Amino acid sequence: MERGNQTSIFEFLLWGLSEWPEQQHILFLLFLWMYMVTVAGNLLIVLAIGTDTHLHTPMYFFLASLSCADILFTSTTVPKALVNIQTQSRSISYAGCLAQLYFFLTFGDMDIFLLATMAYDRHVAICHPLHYTMVMSLQRCILMVTVCWTLTSLVAMTHTFLIFQLSFCSRKIVPDFFCDLGPLMKVSCSDTQVNELVLIFLGGAVILIPFMLILVSYIFIVSAILRVPSDQGRHKAFSTCGSHLAVVALFFGTVIRAYLCPSSSSSNSVEEDTAAAVLYTVVTPLLNPFIYSLRNKDMKRALVRLLRGKASFSWGQA
Say if CB 41 and CB 282 are below 8 A apart: no
Q: How far is CA 101 from CA 20, 84, 163, 217, in A?
A: 26, 17, 9, 31
pLDDT in tens, 75-101: 999 999 999 888 888 888 889 999 999
Q: If pLDDT is split at 50, 70 and 90, which confidence band does 12 have?
A: confident
pLDDT of residue 171: 64
Measured between alpha carbons, how far is 25 from 27 in angstroms, rounded to an integer? Answer: 5
Q: Is the pLDDT of residue 129 over 80?
A: yes
The sign of the torsion formed by the CA atoms of 293, 296, 299, 303 equals positive
- Is the per-residue pLDDT at 317 higher than 70? no
Q: What is the pLDDT of residues 267-283, one digit of tens each?
A: 557 777 788 888 889 99
Position with higher pLDDT, 120 vs 311:
120
pLDDT at 53: 83
Reported as a pLDDT band with limits 50, 70 and 90, residue 263 is low
The phi and psi torsions of 93 (rounded to 5 degrees) equal -70, 160
Provide the pLDDT confidence category of residue 300 given band limits of 50, 70 and 90: confident
Predicted local confidence at residue 15, as pLDDT: 80
Does residue 103 carry a pLDDT above 80? yes
pLDDT of residue 318: 45
Instruction: Give the span between the Cα atoms of 307 and 192, in whole angstroms.
Output: 51
pLDDT at 51 over 90: no
Percent of the chain with pLDDT over 90: 37
Evaluate if residue 71 carries a pLDDT over 90: yes
Is residue 117's pLDDT more than 70? yes
Query: Are residues 123 and 217 in contact, defined by beta-carbon separation less than 8 angstroms?
Result: yes
Residue 70 is predicted with a pLDDT of 94
Sheet harboring 173-174: ordered strands across?
A: 91-93, 11-14, 173-174
Q: Average pLDDT of 56-85? A: 92
For the stretch 178-220, pLDDT in tens is 899 988 988 888 888 999 999 999 989 999 999 999 999 989 9
Mean pLDDT of the chain: 84
| Reported confidence tier of residue 8, pLDDT bands at 50, 70, 90 | very low
Asked if residue 237 has pLDDT above 70, the reply is: no
State which of 101-110, 234-243, 249-258 shows the largest mean pLDDT. 101-110
Look up the pTM and report it. Answer: 0.88
- How do residues 144-190 score in pLDDT, each as one tens digit? 999 999 999 999 999 999 999 988 876 678 888 889 998 898 888 88
> Which letter, b or e, does each residue of 125-144 get, where b requires 16 or more Cβ atoms within 10 Å of its Cβ?
bbeeeeebeeebeeeebeeb
CB count within 10 Å of CB 115 equals 24
Superfamily of domain 11-308: Rhodopsin 7-helix transmembrane proteins (1.20.1070.10)
